[in-house]
Amino acid sequence: MRISPRLHHAAASLVTALCAAGMCLGIAACGSGNSSSSASSSASASSSASSTKLNKIAGVTATGDPGKKPTVKFHTPMTVQDNTYAVLQQGNGATIKEGDRLCAQGIALNAKDGSQIMSTWEKNTPDCSIVVNKSSTNTAYYDILKGQKVNTTIAFGVNDQNSSGTSYLMVLTIISRAKALTRAEGKAVTDIPANLPKVTLASNGKPSLDLNGYKPDGKLIAQTLIKGDGAAVKATQTVDAQYSGWYADSNGTLHQFDSSWSRGSSAQFSLSQVITGWKNGLTGQTIGSQVLLVIPPDQGYGSTDQTDSTTGKVTIPANSTLYFVVDILYAY
């Protein structure tokens, strides 16, 4: 079971709009459901998307200073197809490289009449979820993004399959790039209480957990294990993280019920849409940190069994204390 639902409204979320266009760019889905089946579906979708070829859109232009909100023009009504793009403005900033995290401002323009459906420019709320990674990014989009320069503006065609037949252009302006974290990076914390569960890391950063005789007392524990030097996470932000989660049965045996490490990619979630223990435990932590969370039932799933949506099998028993190790890769 994954811990957070995907953001739902395309007009309000650039992430969702990107995914609607089939270009989630290697971002792991954050929907609820069984981890193994979700991972299988994601792998299948990734394989399919990787073979998609993008065709160029003709007749779309943009003017304005690079890195500023562009003025986009095209003849309306316009027929827009999925898997289409056009580079509207060449950037003048740093070159985008393998492993970069990109922040992009976006505008969605109705293909029927050219009206603006949404924009992140006015409130300065760029989407920073795009990571250029050859192993996980849709190949077609990877080839378009890698080698471009910051302040480049690119339009992508989106033909939504909905009752109203909405089609639009998602116009992205890449405003910054930075090397993306793949695991926690910072200073190891040395004054960790000796009675807490012990975390051991594999060479790639994947954690394993030993309860170390720990007995939960009904209180939330948020113990920093590695202190990152990034900005503090806010309760209103979306977080990109690697994590693993466990519960202990009545015999004290740990059972892992979810792990982004096993799926091969980090997960994104809004702190307003996760269990209370995640929100309370991660708010105030810094980007780059690794945090051990011990979450009591009243800040987790309470007295409700969590079940596999396909088989009905219980994945997390009611009244379980949850244990997570979370690497905070980014927040925005």
Start-to-end C-alpha separation, the chain = 24
Q: Looking at residue 264, what is its pLDDT?
A: 87
Q: pTM here?
A: 0.76
In the chain, alpha helices (H): 14-20, 35-50, 139-145, 260-263, 276-282
**In Å, how far are 18, 165, 324 from 220, measured between CA atoms?**
35, 47, 12
Domains of the chain (ranges, CATH numbers): 14-179 (3.10.50.40), 187-331 (3.10.50.40)
What pLDDT tens digit does each residue of the chain (332 aa) get? 444 332 223 333 454 444 444 444 332 223 333 333 333 333 333 334 445 789 999 999 999 999 999 999 999 999 888 889 999 999 999 999 999 999 999 999 999 999 999 999 999 988 888 899 888 788 889 999 999 999 999 999 988 765 566 799 999 999 999 999 999 999 999 999 999 999 999 999 999 999 999 999 999 999 999 999 999 999 999 999 999 999 999 899 999 999 999 998 899 899 999 999 999 999 999 999 999 999 999 999 999 999 998 999 999 999 999 999 999 999 98
Which of 225, 232, 220, 251 shows the shortest CA–CA distance to 321? Answer: 220
**Nearest-angstrom CA–CA distance, 24 and 128:** 12
**Residue 327: exposed, middle, or buried by beta-carbon count in 10 A (0-12, 13-18, 19+)?**
buried
Please tell me whether the peptide bond between 296 and the residue prior to it is cis, using omega within 30 degrees of 0.
no
